[in-house]
Amino acid sequence: MSNLNKLDFTALEVSGRNYLKWVQDMKLHLIAKGIRATIEEPIDDEPINEAEKAIVMIFIRRHIHDALQTEYLAKEDPHTFWLALADRFDHQKDIYFPEARYEWQHLRFQDFKFVNEYNSEVCRIRSLLKFCKVDLTDEDLHF
């Protein structure tokens, strides 16, 4: 049975294709609710309320595919659940970097009909490279 509730953002797919966006959306929502600490490394002097943990587990489970809910059914702590999902899907940066670098190296102005299309593509590729922790130099930008 699929989720019948209206979601705050797109649920995490089984393939993990949308993992990076999902993580950002999840973190922002948890910050807004004041309960992000539940997914982070626990601090000894600040115990986390069990009710907050339950709220986060419900929220995370509601925003993942049903097959993932079943697979991670035994996870009851939001921090270990978060780490398990990261262990499974956090390789996305390794996939995006070579692709973005190739696209940047083979970007040609004459391949676009309009300047706006070219500028949009430049921004998209730069964003991907920045996400992968690669900053373009002025020399890279003036080819």
pLDDT in tens, 23-45: 999 999 999 999 998 998 877 77
pLDDT band at 114 (very low <50, low <70, confident <90, very high): very high
CB 30 within 8 A of CB 55: no
- Continuous segment of H or E residues that includes residue 96: helix 92-105
Checking if the pLDDT of 4 tops 70, the result is: no
Residue with tokens 């339950």: 54
The amino acid at 134: V
Q: What is the pTM of this model?
A: 0.70
Q: Where are the domains of the chain?
A: 19-89, 92-141
Q: Which pLDDT belongs to residue 1?
A: 42
Kindly calculate the radius of gyration of the chain based on its CA atoms and give it in whole angstroms: 19
Identify which of 69, 92, 78, 80 has the alpha carbon closest to the alpha carbon of residue 14.
Answer: 69
pLDDT band at 55 (very low <50, low <70, confident <90, very high): very high
pLDDT band at 115 (very low <50, low <70, confident <90, very high): very high
Calculate mean pLDDT across residues 50-58. Answer: 91
Q: Which pLDDT belongs to residue 143?
A: 56
